[in-house]
Copies of this chain bind each other. A is one copy, B any other.
């Protein structure tokens, strides 16, 4: 790597490059060589920052997962009627997805071939479970219709939210994250509520 530029990376900025390449090539399809070329620094410089590509993956998906789990700890997710807490969580999920787009995109593509991927899938399941529990509580309160099975409804709601990564580009096309969150909530909840 005679063309390698001086290593001015921090763990954070190196992570941003790695996540871009993971999303482009897939995690399995990315080698340390690819990362080294994309970052313009030598492999040994990368090893100065991290133990290897799996550590980069872990840091990247942790950033997405931390963003999601933080939501559950927020006041509006903990206090109030379950249906309102669920709406709040939905809105905030869109916010985390758009704010941390490459990290959430990577998280959603994790397949489970390594220990880190298995761990990420497990954490995603925990998050989904928490949201499904909120859903159940809202049905028990009589605020959400009982004729749509909770697991199916949760999957469709998550499917709708997660599909946003396929087309959302920050700053693009005049559609901001609040408009999108509003549309998701309208679509899902005005439909699922027993009455308005």
Contact = CB atoms under 8 A, between A and B. Distances in A.
A148 B181 CA distance: 11
B159 A163 contact: yes
Number of identical monomers bound together in the oligomeric complex: 2
Interface in A145-188: 145, 147-149, 152-153, 155-160, 162-164, 166-167, 175, 179-180, 182-184, 186-188
Contact of A155 (B29, B167, B186): B167
Chain A at the B interface: mostly helix, strand, loop or mixed?
A: helix
Interface of A: 26, 29, 145, 147-149, 152-153, 155-160, 162-164, 166-167, 175, 179-180, 182-184, 186-192
Nearest to A174: B149
Contacts of A29: 29
Contacts of A189: 191
Contact of A156 (B148, B153, B163, B192): B163
Contacts of A192: 186-187, 190-191
Given A159-B160, A162-B163, A186 B148 contact: yes
Contacts of A180: 152
Nearest to A160: B160
A182 B125 CA distance: 25
A154 to B, nearest CB: 11
Contacts of A186: 145, 147-148, 191-192
